[in-house]
Structure formats: structure tokens, C-alpha cells
Amino acid sequence: MSAQVWIDGLFSGAVYALVALGLAIVFQPTRVMNFAQGEALVLGAAIGYQLIALWKWGWVAALLVTLLLGALLGVLTERMIMLPVKLSGSRFAWIVATLAAAMIFQSLFTLRYHDTDALRPRPVLAGGFEVLGERIGWQQLLTVGVALAVVAGYDLFLGRSVYGRAIRAASHSSDTAVILGIPVQRIIVLSFAIATVITALAGVLAAPVLFVGPASGLLFTIKGFTAAIIGGVGSPRGALAGGLIVGLLDAVVRNLVSATAGNFVAFALLALILVAFPSGLFGKPMAAH
């Protein structure tokens, strides 16, 4: 088997890890698994494609716009999901709300880029280098490096910042957090904004190499969800480990068998992890609110 398969697996795994981290960030204070998370990745790819490929702007502008629109989309998504959940009073309302948000965003992206198969801008860093006869693209290396930095940064944010400790408190018990004076609603909005920015960043970095279509958001959500469950929801390190596992396994099976088999094996692993390790490989059991 070519080493290029492992390189591609690490790259796609880093992307899945950032989606999984976004899912975990939202889940911590809300107990909501946001099935619209993959649309943030498509947003990042669309921004890169629109600004770099079509408008010929620079990457600095594209990254700044990604951060800004990602935060705005996060706030909007929070309202679209959490408001119906609160008003309905149903413990399953989040499923309908998140899927509805995903379908709405997917429709908007499809309408805007209906004649575009892949939202592919030029890479931030063109070219690459060779190691033992295998070529590694600078864009791939950059994406893996950013994923490692983001996971490490968020882990430090949770442990050492005031808002990080507040997120952990709200995750443990929102009622107790309110009694302690923690602004839970502000924490929830912040979590959606951070998660969306991280996933949009993954999209703008992945788009030059990975196929990102206008309607591919739900597929990335599923891959990120699989990674989050394998690694343990709520664990940044687990999100990274789960993403790399899914990415590498998918790449290997695709190379040996087929693309369809790659998806099947990844989801089969998800089922196995749910049976053997319900809290994931690195997660801890989390009490319901």
C-alpha cells in the first residue's frame, strides 16, 4: 500500500477531527448534537471559493471573512436550534431542529452554487515536498498542523480560562451553573460561535484539496459525528483521535476496496464502539441535564 494513502488519511482525519471538535463544543453545554455542523465547513469552502477563485482576493481577507461569517452563522444557528428546542419542551426536538437547519443551509448553498461541483480555491501554500518518494502537499501539512493547534488551544481554553471553566460547569449541570451566577445562555451562544468558526476554518483549509460540494455538509457531519463518538463526545483530544482514526481507516479501505466500503467500515466501527465503549475511547460518562 502506498504511503500516499496514509498521508491522505491523516489530512482528511484532521478535517474530521475539527468537525468532531465543533460537535463536542456545542454538545457540552447543551446536550444537543448539531447535525447542521457540516454546513459550517461548506461555508468555509464557499468563502474560499468565492473570494479566492472568483473575486481573486487574497487569503488573508478570506480567513478574516471566514472568522467573521463563521461567528455570525454560529449565533444564527444557535437561535434556529435552541429556540425551537426550548419552546417545544420535547427531549427530541433538537433532532428536528438541527436537521431542519442543515437542510435550510444546504438549500442556500446549492442555490448559490448550483453549477459548481466542487468549491475549490487555490491552496494557501502551493506545492509540496517529497519524503521517501511520496509527495506531501504544503496545504495538507498546514491543515494537520492547524488541527493539532486548535485542539491543543481549545483544551487549554477549557482548563485555564474563565469561560472555559464556565463551559465545563454548564456541561456538568446547567441548573447549578445558573445558581452560581454563570450566564448559561451566553455560554451556549459562545459555544455555537466557537464551534462554527473552527469548522468553517476546517472548510476553507480543506477545500483546495478535499472534495467539498455545496450539498456535502451532511456527509461531513456524519463523518465528524462518527469521529466524536469514537473519541468520546466532550473530549477535545478524543475528537482529534477519533478524526484521525476515521480518516485513516476510510483512506485505507477506499484504497483496498472501494469508496462505499470505506464509509461502511467507518460506520461499522461506530456501532462497535457504541456497544463496547458507550462513552467513546477517551470520553467520560456524562449525566443528562
Phi/psi at 141 (nearest 5 deg)?
Answer: -65, -40
In this predicted structure, what is the pLDDT of residue 167?
84
Residue 281 lies in a domain: no
The pLDDT of residue 9 is 92
Q: Where are the beta strands (DSSP E) in the chain?
A: 128-131, 134-137
Tell me the C-alpha distance between 254 and 17, whole Å: 19
**Looking at the DSSP assignment, which residues form a beta bridge with residue 134?**
131
Give residue for cell 468565492. 50
Is the residue at 10 inside a domain?
A: yes
Report if residue 116 sits inside a domain.
yes
What's the structural domain count of the chain?
A: 1
Query: Is 86 a domain residue?
Result: yes
Does 284 reside within a domain? no
CATH number for the domain spanning 46: value is 1.10.3470
pLDDT in tens, 40-54: 999 999 999 999 999
Q: Measured in whole angstroms, how far is the alpha carbon of residue 86 from the centre of its chain? A: 24
Q: Over the stretch 78-90, which tens digit does the pLDDT of each residue have?
A: 999 999 998 887 8
The residue segments making up the domain with residue 129 are: 3-274
Cα 120 from Cα 104, distance rounded (Å): 22
Each residue's pLDDT tens digit, 126-183: 888 887 777 889 999 999 999 999 999 999 998 888 888 888 888 877 777 888 788 8
> Considering the domain boundaries, does residue 282 fall inside one?
no
The answer to whether position 169 is within a domain reads yes
pLDDT classification of 22: cutoffs 50, 70, 90: very high
User: Which residues are CB-neighbours of 77 under 8 A, at least 6 positions away?
Assistant: 34, 36, 40, 101, 192, 196
> Would 117 be classed as within a structural domain?
yes
pLDDT for the residue 287: 47
pTM: 0.91
Q: What is the pLDDT of residue 279?
A: 66
